[in-house]
Amino acid sequence: MSLQLVLLNQLVRWQIKRRFRKNPDVQLLRPLMQQMEARTSRLPADIAVEDLALGGVPAERLTAEGASTSKAFLYIHGGGFVAGSPRTHRPLTWRLAKETGVPVYAIDYRLAPEHPFPAGLDDCVAAYRALLDKGYAAKSIVVGGDSAGGNLTLALALRLKAEGVPLPAALVCLSPATDMTGSGASRHENAEADSLFVEEMFDTLKPAYYAGHDEREPFLSPLFGDVAGFPPVLFQVGEREMLRDDATRMAGKLRAAGVEAVIEVWPKVWHVWQLNADMLPEGREAITHITRFARQHLALS
């Protein structure tokens, strides 16, 4: 465990969890993440960024020098379905672009509460179909996301399967929300240990994102979906997270269905620590693991 992790953990608890104790509304994530953009949007000189649209969905393409243009990484950012953007996640996405050696397409899907479920998922489907239309083979695409984006990654695979669209080569899910019923033991057991969130904020998600929908609907809670035939999936999650069991139980379900599922449970880290890779050795190490998994399933030497 690095000194940076110890110090940043205390800072994260002070800056974020303290605010959620006072106001446990998931929509507080939007101003918090907007404040992040000035710091997180900076890119190295050797990473090119291009604004574009995928199936009508705004996106940015991040490309490193010498990238293989025949393969792609579709990235779906987190933010509780109400916040975040490709710019807030650049500390992760530019590293994925550089280390995998393939372009990363980070989409700016519609957010709740202005655009509740299933608008964001519809955008993910449209963006993936657009990559196919661009000539990318399904087996040349990896799809990944964190938190809400991890949920959407799995829900996207369920939608593609239901619609008869070829599935991608692999999925990457970082601290994904997979169970809107909150039935995993970690949701309660880790309420104090979790460095970011409080239990009460999960109660505010339903009216903002999926009012009027059954919490067990698979496109909302992929844990309850039919995952037979899924591509390989990598999960990374912190042992102290309230969402820990969302990842571990989802991995177990996939394995029971005969799907390759790699689950990494990291000690001492917080929710989506990979976003702190600029300062955190554990964040950079986790991204190296993601890169290895993605390159393996994209058949990159």
- Catalytically active residues are 147, 241, 271
Residue 128 contacts residue 159 (beta carbons within 8 Å): no
Q: Can you read off the two tokens belonging to residue 3?
A: 């000194």
DSSP state of 47: E
Q: How many CA atoms lie within 13 A of 57 on its CB side?
A: 29
Query: What is the token pair recorded at 180?
Result: 């809107």
Region of residue 100 (left: phi > 0; alpha: psi -120 to 50; beta: else): alpha
To which H or E segment does residue 146 belong? strand 141-146
Q: Helices (DSSP H) in the chain: which residue ranges?
A: 3-12, 18-22, 29-40, 90-100, 119-133, 148-163, 186-189, 200-203, 205, 244-256, 281-297
Output the furthest CA–CA distance in the chain (Å, rounded): 50
Beta-sheet pairing, 72-76 with 141-146: parallel
Which helix (H) or strand (E) segment holds residue 199: the answer is: none
